[in-house]
Amino acid sequence: MDSVLKRYLFLIPVAILLGLIVFYPVLRCAGLSFTTHDGLGFGNYARAFGDARLAATLWNTTVFTVFSLVLEIILGLALALCINVSFRGRGIVRAIVLIPWALPPAVMALGWTWIFNDVYGVASDILYRTGLASEKIAWLATPGKAMLSLVIADVWKTTPFVAIILLAGLQSIPKSLYEAAAIDGAGPVRRFFMITLPLLRPHLLLAVLFRGIQAFGVFDLIWVMTRGGPAGSTETISLYIYRIIYGYLNPGYAAALTIIAFLILLAVAVIISILNRRQHELA
Amino acid sequence: MNWFFRAIIVLASAGLIVGCTGEKEATITILISPDHIKGWKAIGEAFSKKYPNLKVNFEAPSSSTDDRQTKYTTCFLAEDAAYDLVYMDIIWVPKFASKGWLEPLDDKFPESARADFLPGDIEGSIYKGKIYRVPMQSDAGMLYFRKDLLEKAKLKPPQTFSELMRACTKLQKKPDLYGYVFQGKQYEGLVCNFLEILWGYGGDVFDSDGKLVINSPEAVKALGWLVDAVRNYQVCPMGVTTYNEEECHRTFQEGHAVFMRNWPYAWSMTQQEGSPVKGKVGIVPMVHAAGKKSAATLGGWGIGISKFSNNKKEAWKFIEFATSAPIQKLLHEREGLIPTRKSLFKDKDILEKSPHYGKLYKVLLGARPRPVHERYTEISDIMQKHLSASLIGDETPRQAARLMAVEIEVALGQK
């Protein structure tokens, strides 16, 4: 048999599997998104364009994603650099660092809800006792602070994940590069910016991609901590879609919003992979 | 040939006997909360004793109401017969019924059979003239107060909104003791709290003709009172706009609040051994405006039959059995749940163990269901958002009332 044909033949099982797992649900969802109460059509998409709540939830989701992503990358990188250095008990420290990541989201969200409580909460108590705040702060009660609290909780939970990805990247950088740079007289800061950061770029992009997609779809954390409040200020796209299906029993419109969110994420993913490819071409 | 005929007659009569007594063997399934599973299992056993061919399977995956609603909804959307019985929160009735997912029960549960049930529970089980569930467990909001503190200050339990506010400002000693706690987080509970105040001022969401009347002077006054409590008189803890039932209960039980709006479940906990407020708590119906009547938001659960069930006859047998007075009493004794039959509030055994049931009965008689509308969830979500915005100072009560009306109108106009 022709070897090219054979090659494609071997791909068939994978193609079937991927088709069933990935493409079928997406296509099914796309099909559903064209069903309205009046029959088939673009009604759901037309409605989405005039939906102020959709715009608000997309904005909230973007704010949450950008802020938590930036903080997670910075802190994750710092953490990765720390646990990359060899010291006594490094294995244990690496394991401990992973604990927040291993906790079930709903459990840790409940914990943070109490941390941010005004009367019993540790967060407001520390600020109050140290005199940094003149009164006890109800963190989840105002829109700005509620969003900040959610970002903090998310950063606490997922920074270890970013750190682990970046740690893998750090370990793949040859030591000889640093030695050569040091001999040439480059200091630690210069070495970081000239060697570590450029060589870590694929891993950074990977972390951004993974975490970005996850943060964009955040549900459990917000569902437990604020339910989208106060005044709808922390309602994300996932919460809204959930409510449309199970609250308002309108799967068609929910499917349309899912497809819109999917396209947004796809666009971001494409941009990131183009950035990544350009890096390879440069290298 | 004689033996042959005899044998046939014997066999035939044996078959006839079996056919008469041995009814269909069936297992009926219901989804409930794990919180009261022991009481329900006891009911299941008693049921199987009466009907040996029938078994009840209790599925209790989550104590979250939303989770169970999601599970039921998923099954209905798939037209699946996984659940024969539907244990329904009062606000699910119109939503499920309008989709045709529930079996109407009018011929099995006629008006004559409804007389012993609390009127609000029945009203909340009816959608467009047909009844879809039999009430099993009642629930309604009420005002808890600290008897000891009021007595010390020589105050009577408040009856009107201004009396309540005055008592709060007089008795509170911040930051250890606040006047009033309620469910101020943006969720269903906030709407329940607000409706009681709205009704107490004589307002409503829809009038008797189904016209939207939320943008009314009464609504502005009602929301104004709640905003005053939080922002102007500041009789609530700062974080009250993030509280649900449990946070309120905890604040009150630790002795940090004089008044609390909550459901009856909190009562037994405040009276437990080791509770700092044991024996110091009283209950009254939620206050009202001068010249108006108190109203409580009705919660509560009932049992209906799924349209997709293959065991509808057997399911009804269970409903009839479970909602009967002795079985409701059993569930009350085992799990402390509030019955829905009026006769049980005069039951000696119940009154002896729970002397506050006399007062609770009054609250329940005055309880009203939330707007019975197939799209209540959307209406409630819109209300939650603007009530919350008003409580945190983003919108004035006037703006909030107007925006609620506009957005509900738009949402209901959309299919």
User: Which ipTM value was assigned to this complex?
Assistant: 0.77
Q: Is A138 on the interface with B (CB under 8 A)?
A: yes
pLDDT reported for residue A90: 86
Residue that terminates a domain, selected from B368, B389, B404: B368
Tokens at B403, concatenated:
């925006």
**Domain presence at residue B355:** yes
Min distance A63 CA to chain B CA atoms (Å): 19
Are the Cβ atoms of B377 and A136 closer than 8 angstroms?
no
pLDDT reported for residue B18: 47
Q: Is A119 on the interface with B (CB under 8 A)?
A: yes
pLDDT reported for residue A2: 73
Output the CA–CA distances (angstroms, integers) from residue A86 to A83, A90, A91, A94, in the order listed: 7, 7, 9, 11
Q: Domain check: are B76 and B154 in the same one?
A: no
**Domain presence at residue A173:** yes
Are the Cβ atoms of A230 and B386 closer than 8 angstroms?
no
A144: which chain B residues are within 8 Å (Cβ-Cβ)? none
pLDDT at B8 > cutoff 80: no
B375: which chain A residues are within 8 Å (Cβ-Cβ)? 248
Q: What is the dihedral of CA B245, B247, B249, B250, to 10 degrees?
A: 160
Most confident region among A81-85, A126-130, B58-62, B134-138 by mean pLDDT = B134-138
Alpha helices in B134-211 (DSSP H): 147-152, 161-171, 188-200
Q: Is A226 on the interface with B (CB under 8 A)?
A: yes
CA within 13 Å, CB half, B160: 9
pLDDT at B165 > cutoff 50: yes
pLDDT reported for residue B414: 78
Q: Domain check: are B173 and B92 in the same one?
A: no
- AA letter at B112: S
Min distance A138 CA to chain B CA atoms (Å): 5
Number of folded domains that form chain B: 2
pLDDT reported for residue B23: 66
pLDDT reported for residue A58: 96
pLDDT reported for residue A173: 92
**Domain presence at residue B17:** no
Whether the CB-CB separation of A207 and B337 falls below 8 Å is answered with: no
With a pLDDT cut of 90, the percent of chain B lying above it is 84
**Domain presence at residue B291:** yes
Average the pLDDT over B3-8 and give the result. 60
Are the Cβ atoms of A249 and B99 closer than 8 angstroms?
yes
The DSSP line for B278-342 is TT-EEEEPPPB-TTS---EEB--EEEEEBTT-S-HHHHHHHHHHHTSHHHHHHHHHHH-PBPSBG
Whether the CB-CB separation of B125 and B135 falls below 8 Å is answered with: yes
Residue-number span of the structural domain to which B159 is assigned: 142-297+375-413
**Domain presence at residue B65:** yes
Tell me which chain A residue has its CA closest to the CA of residue B244. A226
Residue-number span of the structural domain to which A115 is assigned: 51-282
Q: Domain check: are B283 and B306 in the same one?
A: no
pLDDT reported for residue A246: 87
A142: which chain B residues are within 8 Å (Cβ-Cβ)? 392
Q: Is A51 on the interface with B (CB under 8 A)?
A: no
Residues of chain B that touch chain A, judged by Cβ-Cβ distance less than 8 Å: 66, 69-70, 73, 77, 95, 99, 175, 185-187, 237-242, 247, 250-251, 256, 375, 377-378, 381, 384-386, 388-389, 391-392, 394-395, 414-415
From B95, B242, B389, residue closest to A231, measured CB to CB = B389
Average the pLDDT over B278-284 and give the result. 94
Q: Domain check: are B60 and B38 in the same one?
A: yes
Are the Cβ atoms of A140 and B242 closer than 8 angstroms?
yes
Are the Cβ atoms of B242 and A137 closer than 8 angstroms?
no
pLDDT reported for residue B155: 95
Whether the CB-CB separation of B135 and B340 falls below 8 Å is answered with: yes
Higher pLDDT, B221 or B25: B221
Mean pLDDT of chain B: 92
Number of CB pairs, chain A paired with chain B, less than 8 A apart? 92
**Domain presence at residue B4:** no
pLDDT reported for residue B35: 87
CATH number at residue B166: 3.40.190.10
pLDDT reported for residue B378: 93
Are the Cβ atoms of A118 and B242 closer than 8 angstroms?
yes
From A47, A119, A140, residue closest to B237, measured CB to CB = A119
CATH number at residue A91: 1.10.3720.10
Rounded Cα distance, B204 and B350, in Å: 34
Rounded Cα distance, A254 and A44, in Å: 9
Assign B136 a pLDDT band (cuts: 50, 70, 90): very high
Q: Is A252 on the interface with B (CB under 8 A)?
A: no
Query: Could you identify the residue written with the tokens 């210069």?
Result: A190
Min distance A140 CA to chain B CA atoms (Å): 6
Q: Domain check: are B216 and B335 in the same one?
A: no
pLDDT reported for residue B5: 59
pLDDT reported for residue B238: 85
Are the Cβ atoms of B237 and A243 closer than 8 angstroms?
no
Number of folded domains that form chain A: 1
From A38, A119, A229, residue closest to B239, measured CB to CB = A119
Rounded Cα distance, A224 and A113, in Å: 8
Tell me which chain A residue has its CA closest to the CA of residue B240. A141
Q: Please, is A219 exposed, middle or buried when counting C-beta atoms within 10 Å of its C-beta (0-12, 13-18, 19+)?
A: middle
pLDDT reported for residue B20: 47
Average the pLDDT over B42-50 and give the result. 96
pLDDT reported for residue A88: 87
pLDDT reported for residue A168: 93
Q: Domain check: are B196 and B326 in the same one?
A: no
A249: which chain B residues are within 8 Å (Cβ-Cβ)? 73, 95, 99
Task: Tell me which residues of chain A have a pLDDT lower than 70.
Answer: 1, 279-283
Nearest to B92 by CA among B136, B132, B63: B132
Q: Is A117 on the interface with B (CB under 8 A)?
A: yes
3-state secondary structure of B260: strand
Q: Domain check: are B352 and B234 in the same one?
A: no
Could you tell me which residues are beta bridge partners of residue B126? B131
pLDDT at B14 > cutoff 90: no
Min distance B185 CA to chain A CA atoms (Å): 7
Q: Domain check: are B186 and B243 in the same one?
A: yes
Q: Domain check: are B400 and B292 in the same one?
A: yes
**Domain presence at residue B276:** yes
pLDDT of B283-342, one tens digit each?
Answer: 999 999 999 999 999 999 999 999 999 999 999 999 999 999 999 999 999 988 999 999
Q: Is A247 on the interface with B (CB under 8 A)?
A: yes
pLDDT of B179-196, one tens digit each?
Answer: 999 999 999 999 999 999
pLDDT reported for residue B3: 60
B408: which chain A residues are within 8 Å (Cβ-Cβ)? none
Output the CA–CA distances (angstroms, integers) from residue B343 to B47, B339, B363, in the order listed: 22, 9, 16
A230: which chain B residues are within 8 Å (Cβ-Cβ)? 185-186, 241-242, 388-389, 391-392
pLDDT at B1 > cutoff 60: no
pLDDT at B19 > cutoff 50: no
Are the Cβ atoms of B256 and A119 closer than 8 angstroms?
yes
Rounded Cα distance, B163 and B143, in Å: 13
